[in-house]
């Protein structure tokens, strides 16, 4: 045990009496044993705290941080970070079920590659019938969710959404102890996306090419209850990710929060002059930016059609024109 680094498992729990025992028992039964299990009870009004105390009596690795009042997931996570003692921090959610070799498999990869600062995995959907989840309408039970494995691909995917499955992440604790990253209270219901976006700027991200957690879909999860606010903050973060990416490319240009047609046209011209227009990621950036415009006029459409440096495909141009004519037809990335 002395040669195995301590891993601090951080779990926040709020009114999850139905799921908490299964979640914690899955962590207790990990094949990697040198753990401290920090559970933040965020003012639960059901039997969650009672069940946690029973579990703690059976395993002295469990430490409960109890709050009598509900402080919210962001504050709860940040309070939990203050308690960590491990060289690594593992995170999962109180309604999900990790597989027994979750920590061991990811930790082995991270020890073999010191440049990896955080690593997650694929996940398997766990969806009961008629569970009331918004996501369950689109994702069937036992379906495996896959995301990019390598840092470059993860960063590019971040331009269009969060490719990190938070419930199986393992990170080096220096993210908190050295770089002082915490969960940002300005990004309610998208705090994980913001957190991993910032982490991507200080080290290498990776995903393990196997499902190591069961992701439970139910009516009380954040993505079901706060879907609208999550999308608003998600758009802000996708634009931040894009501007970070432009900076990494050495492009001295940033899209404003409420960008206009002329702003996209200028960015497109920059890409064209740099000979980057053949890259698929560049084409998608420009395409998604045009689709995200909130205001259009006929002058813009005319310029869009006659611009000889417009390197988008005919199919993409057609979709953008349809968006001009029917603004509600396509969703906006930014």
Sequence ranges of the domains in the chain: 7-227, 249-325
pTM across the whole model = 0.89
Q: Are 21 and 53 in contact (CB under 8 A)?
A: no
Which sign, positive or negative, has the C-alpha torsion 84, 165, 185, 177? positive
Measure Cα distances from 93 to 73, 78, 136, 260 in Å. 11, 15, 18, 39
Q: What is the pLDDT of residue 323?
A: 86
Please state which CATH class domain 7-227 belongs to.
alpha beta
Please answer whether residues 222 and 73 qualify as being in contact, where contact means their C-beta atoms are separated by less than 8 angstroms.
yes
What integer pLDDT is reported at residue 129 of this predicted model?
A: 64
Question: What is the predicted pLDDT for the residue at 133?
Answer: 46
pLDDT beyond 60 at 135: no
Contact 22, 97 (CB under 8 A): yes
Is there a contact between 149 and 180 (Cβ–Cβ < 8 Å)? no
85 three-class SS: coil
Q: Please, what is the Cα angle at 113 between 107 and 116, to 5 degrees?
A: 75
For the cut 70, the answer to whether the pLDDT of residue 220 exceeds it is no
Cα 66 to Cα 327: distance, rounded to the nearest angstrom: 48
Q: What is the pLDDT of residues 9-62, one digit of tens each?
A: 999 999 999 999 999 999 999 999 999 999 999 999 999 999 999 999 999 999
Q: Mean pLDDT for the chain?
A: 92
pLDDT at 224 over 60: no
| Whether the predicted pLDDT of 132 surpasses 50 | no
How many Å apart are CA 253 and CA 72, to the nearest integer?
Answer: 36
Instruction: Specify the pLDDT at position 294.
Output: 81
Residues 6+ apart with CB under 8 A from 123: 144, 145, 165, 167, 168, 211, 212, 213, 214, 215
Residue 199 pLDDT more than 80? yes
Dihedral angle over CA of 94, 97, 102, 103, nearest 10:
20
């Amino acid at each position: 045990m002395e040669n195995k680094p301590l891993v601090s498992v951080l779990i926040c729990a709020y009114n999850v009496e139905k799921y908490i025992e299964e979640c914690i028992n899955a962590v207790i039964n990990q094949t990697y044993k040198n753990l401290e299990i920090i559970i933040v009870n965020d003012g639960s009004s059901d039997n969650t705290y009672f069940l946690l105390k029973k579990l703690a009596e059976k395993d002295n690795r469990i430490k409960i941080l109890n709050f009598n009042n509900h402080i919210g997931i962001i504050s709860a996570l940040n309070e939990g970070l203050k308690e960590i003692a491990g060289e690594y921090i593992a995170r999962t959610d109180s309604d999900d079920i990790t597989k027994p070799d979750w920590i061991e498999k990811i930790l082995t990869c991270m020890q073999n590659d010191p440049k990896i600062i955080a690593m997650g995995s694929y996940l398997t959907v766990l969806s009961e019938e008629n569970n009331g989840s918004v996501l369950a309408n689109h994702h069937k039970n036992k379906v495996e969710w896959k995301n990019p494995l390598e840092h470059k691909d993860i960063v590019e995917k971040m331009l269009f959404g969060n490719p990190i499955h938070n419930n199986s992440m393992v990170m080096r604790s220096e993210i908190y102890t050295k770089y002082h990253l915490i969960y940002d209270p300005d990004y309610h219901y998208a705090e994980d996306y913001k957190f991993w976006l910032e982490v991507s700027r200080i080290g290498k991200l990776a995903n393990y090419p196997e499902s190591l957690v069961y992701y439970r879909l139910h009516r009380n999860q954040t993505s079901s209850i706060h879907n609208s606010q999550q999308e608003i903050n998600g758009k802000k973060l996708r634009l931040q990710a894009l501007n970070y990416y432009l900076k990494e490319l050495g492009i001295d240009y940033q899209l404003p929060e409420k960008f206009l047609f002329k702003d996209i046209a200028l960015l497109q011209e920059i890409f064209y002059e740099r000979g980057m227009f053949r890259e698929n990621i560049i084409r998608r950036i420009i395409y998604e930016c045009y689709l995200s415009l909130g205001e259009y006029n006929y002058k813009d459409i005319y310029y869009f059609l006659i611009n000889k440096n417009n390197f988008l495909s005919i199919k993409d141009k057609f979709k953008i024109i349809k968006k001009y004519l029917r603004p509600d037809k396509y969703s906006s990335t930014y």
